[in-house]
Structure 1
Amino acid sequence: MSNRVFVVGVGMTKFEKPGAREWDYPDMAREAGTKALEDAGIDYSQVGQAYVGYVYGESTSGQRAVYELGLTGIPVVNVNNNCSTGSTALFLATQAVRSGQVDSALALGFEKMQKGSLGSTYDDREQPLMRHLLALAELQEFAMPPALYMFGAAGVEHMERFGTTAEQFAKVAVKNHAHSKNNPYAQFQDEYTLDEILASRPIHGPLTKLQCSPTSDGSGAVIVASEAFVEKHGLDDRAVEITGQSMVTDLPSTFDDRSAISLVGADMTRTAARKVYEQAGVGPDDVDVIELHDCFSTNELLTYEALGLCGEGESGKLIDAGDTTYGGRWVVNPSGGLISKGHPLGATGLAQCSELTWQLRGAADDRQVSGARTALQHNIGLGGAVVVTAYRAL
């Protein structure tokens, strides 16, 4: 990839249960954005463009959010790409720098959510997931809410095809809840036993409540910069290089495969990961730490396979062997992941980037992955888009 791009500043708020804190989205954006600027050691006036992501909000909420950081007249682009909104903002900011349009750019995301399962905002037009849901209803009996149905159905299919067990899916939640106890930004910091995960309220298929990401309020921010900007401002000590990045949307296989696993984006992830490995000149075995989109425990196991950490149908063995936690081959979701850290849609991808930046700087405190030098990020939104990003410590 030409024109090197670096993460030079990251910041995020603590993720909170909706309504638990008296704040609004401008407050969230100010907190996360200010932290990112301070981390980079620059002023907002040095930022060339801003990409601001959120799913639930009015038009130009992005401008209102970053106006908390300053009024400089720069282009501000509002971004909405479902659960991959934050990483889409990062993708656009990285493109702006890599293309030479600007020397630095801000990606900021936030969400102020309603309590409970996600619902539609507009009922007078076709829902974006309708084609996916109709295709899935031909394979498994329809259920509500849609996201729970889709990822639960994908888990059922994996069990039927490969013999994956409910216990193996539940082990993902055991791991991620355990990781979150060391993350002060996480919505939850409670550990659970395997029996407690399995005994929590049944949701759909193998999923129980403690295997599902919660709705959350919060914000994340990332500043990316060119090599010239890093050198000019002496930021080598905090810069982390983005060595590969790809966004992929739904492919013919999403629908042609007649598979719940394909309908929740496995082939999008596989395609994006392949491109990123080629760009970065690395393979799965070269990666030390991973933040991936565990909106439900089923999706973490599916994503192991799509990212090439194991062969098709072998992800259950990976979790059984402890290969995705401290002491294993990779540490996956040291932050606690979406399941325990929380999932404010517009902020999730930027929180993932923040975590991996801290890990590669050796600044993740009690979550630190020993010797981490290479990292991989995966963020997906149905309907559909996936962003995969590779990072390297300098």
Structure 2
Amino acid sequence: HPYSDSPTSRSEKSRMEKAEQRKRTRLLIEALDPLVPVFSRTCTAEKGSLRSKRTLLQLQEDTVFFLKRITRKKATRHDYVDCDVMREGMLSSSFIILVELDVTTGEIIQCSNGLSRWYQLHPSEIIGQNFAHFLDTNDVHRFKNFLRLSASKTTAKGIRVKLLTFGSKCYEQLECTVKAVQDPVNGRSVFLLSFDEEAPKNPDCFPLWSPCLLRGMSGIFRFDESQSSGPPTDVDGQMRKLSRKGNAELGWCQIGVSSLLKTESARAMLDRLGGENRQASSISSAFMRLVMKMVEMHLTFDFNSHDVPFVAMHARLKLPRVLGSLRTPWVEVLHTSLDGAPVEGFLTLAGTQLRFFAHRNSAPGSLHVTGAHYRQEEGVWKCYHTRTWIITPNKSRIYGQIFRDLDDKPYQFEQTFVR
């Protein structure tokens, strides 16, 4: 078992790490307290134990207030804390969670060590990633407006969002508050993030979900266009727009149909329906919509030998009764663990990956998974698209937004498959 440390060693390691973290926090507070000015408070305000007579919370509030007031200054004989020095010091903090963003695109420019701890198990460095890809789909538009207000130097109150975190193997979508702490400089601004809980110290195994719960999600599903925003082929077309020049990647729908073509009976059935034009890259949208009405998808959810959840997806064609009710053999479309490992052989272009992350805090009676597309840019794996996958015993929903960055107009979609 990959997490089979003894309870004693785990406890001792945790105790030592907590002691080291407390030491680093104490040193940071001792360094910040004399640097950050004490701002006026009511005479009834609580007195703290710091040398400045502030509480830890008051020091944090004064630090945020001070950052908002900082502007670039010319050299002077008077003592003051330089803006760049202050910002770099804050970004080196493991206690305060800060991120510097491009307020137009949402790209992460810098982040504090405190935020890095929440992304210690992300597949690659988070610098250069787009912050919006870690947000819940329903929060992307609100966050875009929040950044727009920040970019225009209009006072923007904090915003509450759900953020996918990678602080341990138990990937979690957690609520956090984001506040601007600096006016934009050259299109960049620093934001303070506040989570309701501490970042995990060690990678954890997945929670003890009941195997019966996962197996209860398994079954045969069919695409329901009446509950969807449109056919899957439309989503495939939008995804191709994100492809690099000359390298059009097939979408999930087209990859599934390509898998069906591996069997002679499926090829014969598609010939019967649409003639000899069977290349997945050239099949018409109308024909693909017809095929999708005949596709049955079998999902199997369970745990592997390492207690990590996995999904196996198979597909087949089933003709309607008026055409003979013929069925083709099941064909495997994908088989992958839900711990962020790259899906083998799904995306066909070199330098691209698809990863699935199961959420530890999925809603009761459901499984919440994030599917993330990555591609290699200058030696770094960068996420260029995420979509949400919610599975219940009766329904499978896949939804998301497709955009290059926050300056783009997003394409929203939802695909529903029912039992």
Q: Report if TM-score (shorter chain) is over 0.5.
A: no
Q: TM-score when scaled to structure 2? A: 0.24
Higher helix share: 1
**Greater Rg over alpha carbons, structure:** 2
Structure having the higher strand fraction is 2
Higher RCO structure, 1 or 2 (CA under 8 Å, sep 6+): 1
Q: Normalising to structure 1: TM-score of the pair? A: 0.25
